[in-house]
Chain A
Amino acid sequence: MKVFLWLMLSTLLIAAPLTQADISNLKTRKVKEHIIYETYLETDKGLASVFGYQFDTFFNEHQCFILAISGAVNGERGGYGFAAFGLGQEIPIHPKLALNFRLFMGSGGGGGLDAGGGFMLEGHMGLIYYLTPNMGLEINTGSLTYPTGTFGTPMVNIGIQFTDRQIFLPWESNS
Chain B
Amino acid sequence: MKSPIISILCIVLYYTITAYPNALTSFEKHRKIITTEFKSYHISNTETIQLYGAKQRKFLTKHTYSAEAVYGALFGERSGYLEGGIFIGQFMRGPLDTIVDLRVFTGAGGGGSAPQGGGFIIHPTLGFGKKISSTTFIMTEIGYMQFINGNISSMSIGISINFNSWRLLERKI
Contacts and interface: CB of A to CB of B under 8 A. Distances in A.
Contacts of A119: 74-75
A18 B80 contact: no
B79 to A, nearest CB: 3
5 contacts: A18-B28, A67-B54, A83-B70, A118-B73, A118-B75
A110 B168 contact: no
B1 to A, nearest CB: 14
Interface string A4-19: 0101111111111110
A106 interface: yes
Contacts of A113: 79
A169 interface: yes
Contact of A116 (B17, B62, B77, B164): B77
B55 to A, nearest CB: 13
Interface of A: 1, 5, 7-18, 22, 67, 79-83, 85, 106-111, 113-119, 146, 148-149, 167-172, 174-175
B52 A107 contact: yes
B117 interface: no
Given A8-B14, A18-B29, A110 B79 contact: yes
A83 B72 contact: yes
Q: Identify whether the interface residues of A are mostly helix, strand, loop, or mixed.
A: mixed
Interface residues of B, number: 47
Contacts of A79: 80
A50 to B, nearest CB: 14
B50 interface: yes
Contacts of B52: 106-107
Interface in B65-99: 70-82
B165 A171 contact: yes
Interface in B5-34: 7, 10-11, 14, 17-18, 26-30
B76 A117 contact: yes
A12 to B, nearest CB: 6
Contact of B29 (A15, A82, A106, A149): A15
Contact of B75 (A7, A67, A83, A148): A148
A80 B81 CA distance: 11
Contacts of B124: none
Contacts of A111: 80
A18 B26 contact: yes
Nearest to B62: A14
B132 interface: no
Given A12-B14, A14-B61, A107-B52, 11 more contacts: A10-B60, A12-B173, A17-B28, A18-B28, A22-B29, A107-B82, A117-B49, A117-B76, A168-B166, A168-B168, A175-B134
